[in-house]
Chains A and B, each alone.
Chain A
Amino acid sequence: MESIIFEILSKGIIISTNSSKFQKEASWLMEDENFESLNRTLNKIGLYLVGENGYFYLSKDLKADEEEKFFNSHKQLILAVAQLKKVFVHLDKGHKIKKSEFIKRFEAKKDEKIIKALFDTDDLLEITDKLFNLLERFYVIEKRGKKDEYIVLNSINYYLDIVDAISEGEVDE
């Protein structure tokens, strides 16, 4: 199991404890003994296994030339989450959301600038698909049972915590 989990985490994937796809891996990581054993091994090669409120990921100290790539992908995700939260103001981990509901509410809640920065299309269905695909690809949401339904994974808090950590002084004029 250790090597399977390493394979997953080393791709930058965040394993959420409320994910169906990584249910076995999350349960394994929730065992203190397993977590510590894997973390001990990873520490030796300069990696850290981090377990926060309901999700796990690998972290490391970045070299200067790695930072830009790293932060750019985060920026994209923060924008996508911001647009999703404009539509679903209560959005939180564990919530269930529907594509059809997003489409229904989108026009009234569309953030032109965010959409323009993320996607090169004005087509509502295409925007919806691309936004949901992006969030699914980064394991922020996961398809559940019904065709149209997605669950918000705990990992959303990884991105929201970044926003939370930015102090008001830093964003205010």
Chain B
Amino acid sequence: MKHIELLNLLCRHRKILDSAYKNKKLLSVPKELIEIGLFNKIGGFYYLNEIYFTFVDTLLARADFSYIAEDFDKELKKLIELKEEYKLNKSNYLKDLIFKLLNKIYQGMKNRDKRLLGLIEKLENDEVSELEFLIKEAKNILKDVEEVMVKNEMIVNVFEEFMEFDDFKEFIKDILLDIIHLNQNIDSYLKRLREFISQTEKKRYFNQKLFKIAHLIINEDSKIDDFLITKRFVIKQKFEYVPDSAYINYEKIRSIVGKFTKPKQIKKSRVKRDLEEVISLIDLKGLIKSIEGSDDIFKSIIDYVGKIDKELLNESVRVFVYILNHFDKKLTYTKEYNEFNVRVVKWKV
């Protein structure tokens, strides 16, 4: 079968493939898809070949918790061996083999980067799984990513060693910057994972405390009443009901207290908007559109936010930090600072 015929076949059965991708198993599938090995029958059901999942998930930057990040250990060992051989014998055959391996590791790292990002986003967006499960998974992924980080440094070192050969110099120069950037991504994934674990552990601890207190309330434990009544909680008690008929008519109150008492200095109490609220107010899609290609993201945010609502300008720094956290891969950090004393961050071309 030719490649184009395979593409036609996949296209013809796209609905079946989509269903198998979503539902994981099917009761029946067309014979021709089984013949090319795209489906395997296990215990009465047809399952999509894992190769298909790897291909699609990589392109769509998705990963489920069964994904294990590759470390290219074997490939790297082989590459070191070939390098030693190449020093003695600069044959075309060895050259091709080295190019293939360098490419395999480099592209593998890029693919892994996409899937790791997908995996972390899956963790962060999971609002259904048990907290215990998520913490356990996140810790496993963290361990994996930490190992990847160490291996990545080794990869960079080995790649750099190939700079001594003229045949590979240009190629290594081309990809090295990108590989260093991939390493920076790994570093940011580590930070996100640690933050996720810490936040989820806090959430779990809080839930446990809430359930414990709920049961103390049910058991009419005097400790809770003591706390609520005598010790008070740090926040002020909410005003529950109107204690005096004089309070009912606000206009009357105002006219009375306005005449007979002097204004008192009050403690300022402010409500800070939630970041999520701010993000929904500014229309994130519109913002992204306006900062794409920008040479100074912070300044573009100010321009954009100012057009939406001048009052939201105070939130520009928080919006900026939000963009840095969520679109890190698309940004380039320069060493310069703008007139607001904020680091100049550019959108990658």
Contact = CB atoms under 8 A, between A and B. Distances in A.
B266 interface: yes
A161 interface: yes
A67 interface: yes
Interface in A6-39: 6-7, 9-12, 14, 17-18, 29-30, 32, 35-36, 39
A171 B269 CA distance: 30
A50 B270 CA distance: 8
A164 interface: yes
A79 B218 CA distance: 8
Contacts of A10: 239, 242, 247-248
Contact of B258 (A41, A43, A56, A58): A41
Contact of A41 (B206, B207, B223, B257): B257
Given A45-B257, A49-B269, A52-B271, A14 B238 contact: yes
Contact of B253 (A36, A45, A55): A45
Interface stretch (A68-76, A119-127, A128-136, A141-149): A68-76
Given A161-B235, A166-B213, A113 B269 contact: no
State the majority secondary structure of interface residues on B. helix
Contacts of B81: none
B271 A56 contact: yes
A113 B218 contact: yes
Instruction: For chain B, give the interface size range.
Output: 35 or more
- Tell me whether chain A's interface is mostly helix, strand or loop, or mixed: helix
B131 A78 contact: no
Most chain B C-beta atoms within 10 Å of own C-beta, residue among A69, A89, A94, A114: A89
B8 to A, nearest CB: 41
Contacts of B223: 170-171
Contacts of A117: 217-218
Interface of A: 2-3, 6-7, 9-12, 14, 17-18, 29-30, 32, 35-36, 39-41, 43-45, 47-63, 66-71, 73-75, 78-79, 81-83, 85-86, 88-90, 93-95, 111, 113-114, 117, 154, 158, 160-166, 168, 170-171
Closest 4 CB pairs of A and B: A82-B214, A58-B239, A44-B257, A3-B250
